[in-house]
């Protein structure tokens, strides 16, 4: 078999030849209890025999009480109708917020834990629908940030043609999520990949690379004992990392066009502020700027007071906000300020998407993606200006530090990592008992409550092990609301504990080459780790990681840290060429025959993630030349 055939098979296996792939619908064994009806109403159902009171909190209806059905034992309520879209929701069980344990889709966030409800359109399609079109891939990348002194993370969307057209270079859109969001939110909630896949298939948007940075890198910096991770705004540590570390990484690892005419930056909420701040202060790098439900400083030297020069450098300045958004007043004032300064922009306002929400973020994204890297279309939109800036009424809610404090109160620190101990905390002032459940302990560990209603316990054994855990609050399993690392399991999703000093943590690795983990999200069970500097000079060893019964194709990487383990061992030793995958390799086995060497690890063969990681380490160590 010649090398070109092998490479094409490999591309198919990795899912990067996405233009040949059509959307598929993932199905799990456990059907969700929440039901969407054709009239747009939704019946929420939740099973919990211990609960005394249950409410559902959903973005289109707020908090509503649920009633327990005596026959089925299910807590239930029907709400709506609501417009077709995706809505975050959770259950409030005796005062404690919990995710829907039968829902697979979830909202990645540093703090709150919500499930995602998808109400389909009965006629036509929605911008974010998973349609039968060619799909791009998403790569999870890690890079050492000298600005942080730590490893940072990002997700990179590659359009469907990227692997087929090896000589083509692409424009880049840096798209930043909001306060407390992780780098995954514009993918898993904002659906940027599917929106762009659909627009590209229609010919309504240019092919582009989209980079999803982590907007709060301060949280990744080494912290003093007992200190709280801070949230950075504007052109602070985020901007330093963006310009000095992330952009050079992207431009050295992907086929990008590296000039201002082919770079865009924008984001939602805090990400919109970060995008505008870094775009307006670096117009030599960015000529397309997008703000979704946000604004930025009106004090930027050499920007607003030099309107003609500023306008000459910007192809598109796109601003959108909902009139019912708590940031509307400040965003409106910023738009009016731009008008008075003679800075051209395109403005759009919504009135029906529940304010500061990802329904708005997706809508604005769909509208603006059609103009990126299309100078003529962007210029026409800029000349028209979009909707006029509404006059101030005096009733707009001001955005003040007190509003910020109310929306984002100081979090409880959990887990808190010490050198030889890990402390877990859970605030549940009305609970009678809270216990910590981990896969390392045979029995739940009863926690102690303080005068503020915060329950606490400390572990001193297996501190450097990776394990999943959750809290048992009066018998109800609850993921740690303060831990941003959530296991992407089917059904109930526990939290992930990984000490920053653990050898399997990116935080402890320092500067070294990193591989990438790539997915085609429309294909279930297809994840591939490709080592740094991998080249197809010889037949690689294929390491097949089989997920456990409740695992997904992400579990071996997000919980098992298979990519971190491979990076560390690959950097320390010269290994035979290898690839790691969760994919079914039967079709490749048929093509390669005896040439193909597969080594398989099955999660079901091991009780804990600690044991699974040890098995993977041993397998990789065996590849030493």
List pLDDT tens digits, range 139-192.
999 999 999 999 999 999 999 999 889 899 999 999 999 999 999 999 999 999
* Whole-number Å distance between alpha carbons of 96 and 429: 9
Helix/strand/coil for 403: helix
- 448 - beta bridge partners? 456
**pLDDT exceeds cutoff 80 at 591:** no
The pLDDT tens digits of the residues spanning 63-95 come to 999 999 999 999 999 999 999 999 999 999 999
CB 364 within 8 A of CB 292: yes
pLDDT score at 22: 31
pLDDT score at 36: 96
Of the pLDDT bands very low, low, confident and very high (cuts 50, 70, 90), residue 596 is confident
Tell me the CB-side half-sphere exposure of residue 72, using CA atoms within 13 A: 10
The pLDDT tens digits of the residues spanning 478-516 come to 999 999 999 999 999 999 999 999 999 999 999 999 999
Q: How far is CA 483 from CA 84, 113, 166, 610, in A?
A: 31, 9, 40, 19
**pLDDT exceeds cutoff 70 at 227:** no
* Whole-number Å distance between alpha carbons of 142 and 116: 27
pLDDT score at 458: 97
Contacts of 406 (CB under 8 A, 6+ apart): none
Cis before 491 (ω within 30): no
CB 483 within 8 A of CB 559: no
* Whole-number Å distance between alpha carbons of 509 and 568: 7
**Structural domains of the chain, ranges and CATH numbers in brackets:** 3-24+504-621 (no CATH), 35-103 (2.60.40.10), 137-221+230-384 (3.40.50.1820), 416-481 (2.60.40.10)
Query: Which of 227-231, 306-310, 351-355 shows the lowest per-residue confidence on average (mean pLDDT)?
Result: 227-231
**pLDDT exceeds cutoff 90 at 410:** no
The pLDDT tens digits of the residues spanning 102-150 come to 999 999 999 999 999 999 999 989 999 999 999 999 999 999 999 999 9
pLDDT score at 432: 95
Give the mean model confidence (pLDDT) for residues 543-569. Answer: 96
Cis before 173 (ω within 30): no
pTM of the model: 0.93
* Whole-number Å distance between alpha carbons of 369 and 375: 12
pLDDT score at 24: 30
CB 256 within 8 A of CB 325: no
Contacts of 293 (CB under 8 A, 6+ apart): 178, 268, 269, 272, 320, 321, 322, 325, 327, 331, 356, 360, 361, 364
pLDDT score at 397: 79
Which tokens belong to 278? 């870094």
**pLDDT exceeds cutoff 70 at 574:** yes
pLDDT score at 538: 79
Q: How far is CA 111 from CA 35, 89, 288, 486, in A?
A: 27, 14, 31, 11
CB 241 within 8 A of CB 219: no
6 CB-contact burial (10 Å; exposed 0-12 / middle 13-18 / buried 19+): middle
Nearest CA to 253 out of 137, 160, 141, 152 is that of: 141
What value does the mean pLDDT of the chain take? 90
Between 566 and 235, the more confident residue is 566
**pLDDT exceeds cutoff 90 at 315:** yes
Sheet with 35-36: strands ordered across: 35-36, 42-47, 74-79, 67-68
Nearest CA to 12 out of 541, 557, 584, 533 is that of: 584
Between 24 and 588, the more confident residue is 588
**pLDDT exceeds cutoff 70 at 554:** yes
Which tokens belong to 625? 């030349």
**pLDDT exceeds cutoff 90 at 460:** yes
Give the mean model confidence (pLDDT) for residues 460-477. Answer: 96
Helix/strand/coil for 435: strand
End-to-end CA distance of the chain, in Å? 25
Query: Which of 235-239, 369-373, 471-475, 579-583 shows the lowest per-residue confidence on average (mean pLDDT)?
Result: 235-239
Give the mean model confidence (pLDDT) for residues 452-466. Answer: 95
pLDDT score at 428: 95
Of the pLDDT bands very low, low, confident and very high (cuts 50, 70, 90), residue 409 is confident
**pLDDT exceeds cutoff 70 at 14:** no
For the chain, counts of helices (H) and of strands (E): 15, 32
Nearest CA to 208 out of 243, 246, 177, 162 is that of: 162
* Whole-number Å distance between alpha carbons of 329 and 334: 9
* Whole-number Å distance between alpha carbons of 84 and 93: 27
* Whole-number Å distance between alpha carbons of 263 and 279: 10
Contacts of 291 (CB under 8 A, 6+ apart): 266, 267, 272, 273, 275, 276, 318, 319, 320, 331
**pLDDT exceeds cutoff 60 at 30:** no
CB 35 within 8 A of CB 43: yes
* Whole-number Å distance between alpha carbons of 433 and 576: 52
**pLDDT exceeds cutoff 70 at 625:** yes
* Whole-number Å distance between alpha carbons of 486 and 558: 8
Of the pLDDT bands very low, low, confident and very high (cuts 50, 70, 90), residue 3 is very low
Which tokens belong to 203? 């010919």
The length of the chain is 625
CB atoms within 10 A of CB 450: 11
Q: Report helix angle 562-572 to 609-621, nearest 10.
A: 30
- 46 - beta bridge partners? 75
Which tokens belong to 497? 């504990």
Of the pLDDT bands very low, low, confident and very high (cuts 50, 70, 90), residue 23 is very low
Give the mean model confidence (pLDDT) for residues 187-202. Answer: 97
Which tokens belong to 559? 């919980």
Query: Which of 38-42, 79-83, 592-596 shows the lowest per-residue confidence on average (mean pLDDT)?
Result: 592-596
Helix/strand/coil for 14: helix
């Amino acid at each position: 078999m010649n090398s070109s055939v092998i490479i094409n098979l490999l591309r198919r296996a990795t899912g990067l030849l996405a233009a040949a792939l059509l959307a598929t619908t993932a199905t799990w064994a456990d059907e969700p209890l929440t039901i969407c009806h054709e009239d747009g109403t939704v019946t929420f159902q939740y099973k919990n025999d211990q609960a005394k009171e249950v409410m559902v909190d959903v973005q289109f209806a707020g908090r509503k009480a649920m009633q327990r059905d005596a026959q089925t034992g299910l807590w239930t309520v029907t709400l709506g109708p609501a417009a077709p879209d995706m809505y975050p929701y959770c259950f409030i069980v005796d005062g404690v917020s919990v995710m829907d344990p039968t829902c697979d889709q979830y909202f990645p966030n540093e703090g709150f834990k919500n499930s995602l409800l998808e109400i389909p359109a009965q006629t036509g399609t929605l911008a974010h629908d998973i349609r039968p079109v060619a799909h791009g891939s998403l790569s999870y990348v890690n890079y050492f940030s000298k600005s942080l002194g730590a490893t940072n993370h990002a997700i990179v969307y590659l359009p469907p043609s990227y692997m087929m057209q090896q000589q083509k270079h692409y424009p880049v859109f840096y798209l930043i999520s909001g306060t407390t969001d992780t780098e995954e939110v514009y993918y898993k909630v904002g659906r940027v990949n599917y929106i762009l896949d659909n627009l590209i298939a229609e010919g309504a948007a240019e092919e582009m690379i989209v980079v999803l940075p982590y907007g709060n890198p301060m949280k990744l910096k080494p912290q003093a004992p007992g200190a709280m991770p801070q949230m950075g705004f504007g052109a602070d540590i985020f901007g330093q990392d963006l310009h000095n570390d992330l952009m050079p990484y992207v431009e050295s690892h992907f086929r990008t066009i590296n000039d201002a005419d082919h770079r865009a930056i924008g984001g939602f909420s805090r990400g919109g502020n970060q995008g505008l701040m870094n775009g307006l202060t670096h117009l030599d790098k960015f000529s397309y700027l997008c703000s979704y439900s946000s604004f930025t400083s009106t004090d930027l030297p050499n920007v607003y007071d030099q309107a003609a020069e500023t306008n000459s450098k910007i192809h598109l300045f796109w601003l959108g906000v909902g009139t019912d958004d708590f940031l509307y007043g400040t965003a409106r004032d910023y738009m009016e300020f731009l008008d008075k300064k003679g800075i051209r922009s395109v403005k759009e306002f919504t009135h029906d998407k529940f304010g500061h929400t990802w329904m708005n973020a997706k809508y604005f994204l769909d509208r603006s993606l059609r103009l990126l890297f299309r100078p003529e279309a962007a210029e026409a939109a800029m000349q028209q200006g979009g909707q006029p800036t509404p006059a101030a009424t005096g009733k707009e809610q001001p955005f003040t530090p007190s509003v910020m404090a109310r929306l984002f109160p100081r979090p409880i620190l959990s887990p808190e990592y010490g050198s030889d101990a890990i402390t877990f905390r859970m605030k549940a002032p009305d609970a009678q008992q809270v216990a910590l459940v981990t896969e390392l302990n045979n029995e739940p560990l009863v926690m102690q409550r303080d005068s503020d209603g915060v329950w606490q316990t400390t572990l001193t054994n297996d501190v450097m092990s990776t394990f999943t855990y959750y809290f048992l609050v009066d018998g109800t399993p609850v993921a740690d609301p303060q831990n941003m690392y959530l296991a992407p399991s089917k059904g109930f999703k526990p939290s992930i504990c990984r000490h920053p000093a653990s050898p399997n943590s990116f935080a402890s690795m320092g500067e070294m080459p990193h591989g990438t983990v790539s997915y085609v999200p429309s294909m279930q069970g297809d994840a591939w780790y490709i080592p740094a500097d991998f080249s197809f000079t010889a037949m690689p060893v294929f390491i097949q990681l089989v997920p456990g019964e409740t695992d997904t194709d992400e579990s071996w990487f997000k919980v098992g840290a298979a990519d971190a383990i491979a990076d560390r061992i690959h950097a320390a030793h010269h290994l035979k060429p290898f690839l790691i995958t969760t994919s079914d390799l039967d079709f490749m086995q048929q093509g390669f025959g005896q040439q193909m060497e597969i080594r398989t690890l099955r999660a079901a063969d091991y009780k804990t993630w600690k044991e699974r990681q040890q098995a993977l380490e041993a397998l990789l160590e065996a590849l030493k030349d």
